[in-house]
Amino acid sequence: MAPKIKIEDTTGSGEKITLTIEGAEISEKRVVQVLQMLRLLKSSGGGVVEEGESMKERIWRVIVENFGDGTWFSIRDLYNVASREMPDLKVTAVSTYVSRLVGEGRLVKRGSKPNTRYRVQSVRREAAYP
The end-to-end CA distance of the chain, in Å, is 9
Provide the whole-model pTM. Answer: 0.56
**CA–CA distance, 105 with 22 (Å, rounded to integer):** 24
Choose the CATH number for 4-46+53-126 among 1.10.10.10, 1.10.540.10, 1.10.580.10, 1.10.1040.10: 1.10.10.10
Name the residue ranges covered by the structural domains of the chain. 4-46+53-126
- 39-60 pLDDT, tens digit per residue, is 776 665 544 445 567 888 889 9
Going residue by residue through the chain, which has 130 residues, state the pLDDT in tens, using 9 for 90 and above: 778 888 887 766 667 778 888 888 888 888 888 787 777 766 655 444 455 678 888 899 999 989 988 889 999 999 999 998 888 889 999 999 999 999 988 899 999 888 899 999 875 544 444 4
Main-chain dihedrals φ then ψ at residue 44, nearest 5 degrees: -65, -15
3-state SS string for the chain: CCCEEEEEEECCCCCEEEEEEECCCCCHHHHHHHHHHHHHHHHCCCCCCCCCCCHHHHHHHHHHHHHCCCCCECHHHHHHHHHHHCCCCCHHHHHHHHHHHHHCCCEEEECCCCCCEEEECCCCEECCCC
